[in-house]
Amino acid sequence: MTNSTNIRWKRSEVPEELTWDLTDLFPNDEAWEIELNNIVKDIATVTTYKGKMHESSVNFLACLTNYEKLLTRLVIVSTYASLKQSADSSDPINQANAAKTASFQAKISAELSFVKSEILQMDDNLIASFFNEQQELLPFQNFLNEILAMKPFTFSPETEQVLAALSETHNAPYMIYNRSKLVDMQFQSIEDENGQLLPMSFALYEDRYELEPNTTIRRKAYDSFVTTLKHYKNTFASVYATEVKTQVTLANLRNYPSVTKMLLQPQQVTEKMYHNQLDVIKNELAPHMQKFARLKKQVLGLDRLKFCDLKAPLDPEYTPKVSFAEASEMILAALSVMGDEYVEIMEKGLTERWVDLADNIGKSTGAFCSSPYGKHPYILITWADSLRSAFVLAHELGHAGHLFLAGKNQRFINTRPSTYFIEAPSTLNELLLANHLLAKTTDKRMRRTIILQLLGTYYHNFVTHLLEGEFQRRVYEWVEAGNPLTEINLTKFKGDILKEFWGNEVEIDEGAALTWMRQPHYYMGLYPYTYSAGLTVATAVAKKIQLEGKSVANNWLKVLQAGGTLKPLDLIKMAGIDMSQQTPIKEAVAYVGSLVDELVASYQ
């Protein structure tokens, strides 16, 4: 399944079965470009109503309908270019097509900005009368409500059009960060005990070497990784400072009380819900994770636990290999409680090349799922023949199943829910996989391994991304107070947060403090903290499924099918959970504590 040599493949060398099938989007680049040009021509189907939306309900409906159709096509075009770039960002053709798409999206955004601007200029009573006249407008109700909520913070139509035209420029920090990280960064190979050279890349470090049982190799890989990070820290700091300053400036210009308020508005989340996630987990989870760190130091026989040791396996000699085929079988069995329709979606994803598995030069790090409306989802992962890979795959299949069902049951305009909710379906899949595996074994070492995979999920969402959320909170407060943002500030913020959380149990060196350089999520608004919100919901739903069975799973499918038709608080209440309170968060943290306690007890 994986490349057994120490030489990373070029994309052209990757066996087809390890790649996703993009012909389901477009047969080739030429067909993609034709559609790109056709969309440009068809902008007129929307712009013909510019200045005329208010004239009649017929015009209003036609404009919104054509707008939705154009955006649906645009998503497929942009997804194709994005996936090609993610699979191989070193390819100059992919780079050029991604740049062309970005320019194209900026043009489309500017041309169509009048739609929202004119809606904001219209009288509420007029819009209500249009809805009375045209029943076909009802699917656009949520879309319109979200636009109208922006009324106090909106510029004139002319200014909004200028800002839309500058979207490519505003997105430049993320593009520069990604291009530097995936193309320019070069890492020194490392040597094992036998003097054999081992390859190093961003993806290999995060997907393989952080989990390496051999302490010498793990720490050598970390040193190589951090050495390269240091060369880029001032550049990355400047890029990220530009991103933050842009958001703070826009919040001030739009008269938001804070940049946090502005970034939370599209999530439809209150500041109380946001701060609950950060405060409860940061403060109450720390003692449990410090206990876990003490156990790891003791079991691995380390005189000091470094930051790069936190993901080392506790039982180095028991690291069961899991092939993609074996992982697929496990996942399908674990998700059978979700019913035939859901399992069928999962089977298609696993057998019809929805998943890109290979490790090749220029491939994006980490894992993600992209779900273009009207097409099937696509999953990127760098397969490492490990149980952890199986959990990551289950996670991304959760995204795929969610948005496939939402797309099947909702119009394009109503498909995507708030990012506050988006990680719940994915992490629920991981928890169901863990529960399934735990129920099947009494083997002490296997149970430890499964618990460690669960803790890996909570570490990812409740530690890594939660502390990134805390980092963002401090960064925005710092800049809003009029302070400059530099590499020194960023590194200190991250180092301080890690020291506060881990106490004296983990050695926080400069490399640990530089982890602010590793995540692209900082360029996606207040996204990192939402991982913890989704996992909080998933923890509660998984517990309900264990206690009540298939009826809860059936109800959960209705939540997934609802897509973006409800605000996150109401959507989650459909599953019987109230995220306006701290109780679900505290219960999730307590569950993590119980996992740590069981792990510690197993060594006594």
CATH number for the domain spanning 25: value is 1.20.140.70
pLDDT surpassing 90 at residue 167: no
Residue 357: inside a domain: no
How far lies 279's CA from each of 275, 282, 435, 455, in Å? 6, 5, 28, 20
Instruction: State the Cα–Cα distance between residues 214 and 222, nearest whole angstrom.
Output: 12
pLDDT in tens, 1-51: 545 445 679 999 999 999 999 999 999 999 999 999 999 999 999 999 999
257 and 145 within one domain: no
Residue 345: inside a domain: no
Q: What angle, 0 to 180 degrees and rounded to 10, lies between the N-to-C axes of helices 271-300 and 583-601? A: 0
Give the torsion sign (CA, 177, 179, 182, 185): negative
pLDDT in tens, 339-367: 999 999 999 999 999 999 999 999 988 89
Residue 369: inside a domain: no
Mean pLDDT across the stretch 174-198? 87
pLDDT surpassing 60 at residue 289: yes
Instruction: State the Cα–Cα distance between residues 233 and 488, nearest whole angstrom.
Output: 9
89 and 22 within one domain: yes
Strands (E), 103-249: 190-191, 197-198
17 and 163 within one domain: yes
Name residue 198's beta-bridge partners. Answer: 190
Last residue of some domain: 145, 167, 189?
Answer: 167
Q: Which two tokens stand for residue 258?
A: 């804070």
Mean pLDDT across the stretch 86-105? 93
As a three-state string, the secondary structure of 76-97 is: HHHHHHHHHHHHCCCCHHHHHH
Residue 425: inside a domain: no
The two beta strands, 378-380 and 368-370, are antiparallel
Instruction: State the Cα–Cα distance between residues 476 and 466, nearest whole angstrom.
Output: 16
Residue scoring higher pLDDT (170 or 215): 215
Instruction: State the Cα–Cα distance between residues 158 and 47, nearest whole angstrom.
Output: 15
Question: Which residue is associated with the tokens 């991250």?
Answer: 494
197 and 77 within one domain: no
- In CATH, what number is assigned to the domain containing residue 273? 1.10.1370.20
Residue 423: inside a domain: no
Question: Which residue is associated with the tokens 């498909």?
Answer: 415
Instruction: State the Cα–Cα distance between residues 252 and 570, nearest whole angstrom.
Output: 30
Long-range contacts of 320-323 (CB under 8 A, 24+ apart): 320/387, 320/446, 320/449, 321/385, 321/386, 322/385, 322/386, 322/387, 322/389, 322/390, 323/1, 323/385
195 and 64 within one domain: no
What's the pLDDT band for 499 if we cut at 50, 70, 90? very high
Secondary structure (3-state) at 368: strand
52 and 137 within one domain: yes
Q: Which two tokens stand for residue 532?
A: 């913890």
Instruction: State the Cα–Cα distance between residues 51 and 473, nearest whole angstrom.
Output: 41
Mean pLDDT across the stretch 65-80? 97
pLDDT surpassing 70 at residue 421: yes
What's the pLDDT band for 509 if we cut at 50, 70, 90? very high
pLDDT at 5: 47
Instruction: State the Cα–Cα distance between residues 246 and 229, nearest whole angstrom.
Output: 24
pLDDT at 517: 94
Give the best-scoring range by mean pLDDT among 153-162, 313-322, 565-574: 565-574
542 and 510 within one domain: yes
Last residue of some domain: 167, 188, 217?
Answer: 167
Q: What is the DSSP string of 179-210?
A: HIIIII-----EE-TT--EE---HHHHHHTGG
The structural domain count of the chain equals 2
Going by C-alpha positions, the residue among 393, 403, 346, 343 that lies closest to residue 371 is 403
Instruction: State the Cα–Cα distance between residues 271 and 477, nearest whole angstrom.
Output: 14
Last residue of some domain: 167, 195, 217?
Answer: 167
Give the torsion sign (CA, 119, 120, 126, 132): positive
Q: Are 425 and 399 in contact (CB under 8 A)?
A: yes
pLDDT at 407: 97
Which residue stretches of 268-421 are H helix? Answer: 271-300, 324-334, 340-351, 387-409
Instruction: State the Cα–Cα distance between residues 256 and 186, nearest whole angstrom.
Output: 41
271 and 152 within one domain: no
pTM of the model: 0.87
% of the chain beyond a pLDDT of 70:
99
Q: Which two tokens stand for residue 149?
A: 């909520």
Mean pLDDT across the stretch 183-193? 88
What's the pLDDT band for 168 if we cut at 50, 70, 90? confident
Q: Are 513 and 491 in contact (CB under 8 A)?
A: yes
Name the residue range of residue 149's domain. 11-167
Instruction: State the Cα–Cα distance between residues 18 and 383, nearest whole angstrom.
Output: 9
Residue scoring higher pLDDT (80 or 384): 80
Residue 191: inside a domain: yes
Average pLDDT of the chain to the nearest whole number = 93
Say which residues have a Cβ less than 8 Å from residue 572's Cβ, sequence separation at least 6: 421, 424, 537, 559, 578, 579
Instruction: State the Cα–Cα distance between residues 595 and 588, nearest whole angstrom.
Output: 11
251 and 144 within one domain: no
256 and 129 within one domain: no
pLDDT at 550: 87
pLDDT at 7: 66
How far lies 436's CA from each of 215, 336, 587, in Å? 31, 10, 21
Instruction: State the Cα–Cα distance between residues 510 and 518, nearest whole angstrom.
Output: 14
Instruction: State the Cα–Cα distance between residues 345 and 560, nearest whole angstrom.
Output: 13
Instruction: State the Cα–Cα distance between residues 268 and 199, nearest whole angstrom.
Output: 44
pLDDT at 4: 47
Q: Which two tokens stand for residue 340?
A: 């035939």
Secondary structure (3-state) at 328: helix
195 and 207 within one domain: yes
Residue 430: inside a domain: no
